[in-house]
Amino acid sequence: MNLSMEGLENLPSLPEASSIDFDWEHMNRVLSQIPEKYSAVFELSVYQGMKHQSIADQLDISESSSRVYLSRAIELIKKNFKSIA
């Protein structure tokens, strides 16, 4: 693949990690308050990048349960963050 650097100086830059305002302590508190099966799947999927089949095998649940638990965890996390916004 041949990429040219010409013209890239006009592209918007991404914010530096230090400028992103995110409260990881709050996120950890939220994860500790949702059902354990939801937080376990969330952590394995999001933090560790595992696929649903691998999560299912590790937690001894079905792949579809892994998908449902992740979806429910995300909804609970969204609700919690919306309530403090």
CATH code where residue 32 lies: 1.10.10.10
The answer to whether the beta carbons of residues 50 and 19 sit under 8 Å apart is no
- What are 29-71's pLDDT values in tens digits? 889 999 999 999 999 999 999 999 999 999 999 999 999 999 9
Question: Can you tell me the distance from the alpha carbon of 19 to that of 57, in angstroms, rounded to the nearest whole number?
Answer: 38
For residue 79, is it within any domain?
yes
Domain that residue 72 falls in: 24-84
| pTM check: above 0.75 | no
For residue 8, is it within any domain?
no
For residue 51, is it within any domain?
yes
For residue 9, is it within any domain?
no
For residue 67, is it within any domain?
yes
Amino acid letter for position 11: L
Averaged pLDDT for residues 5-14: 46
For residue 37, is it within any domain?
yes
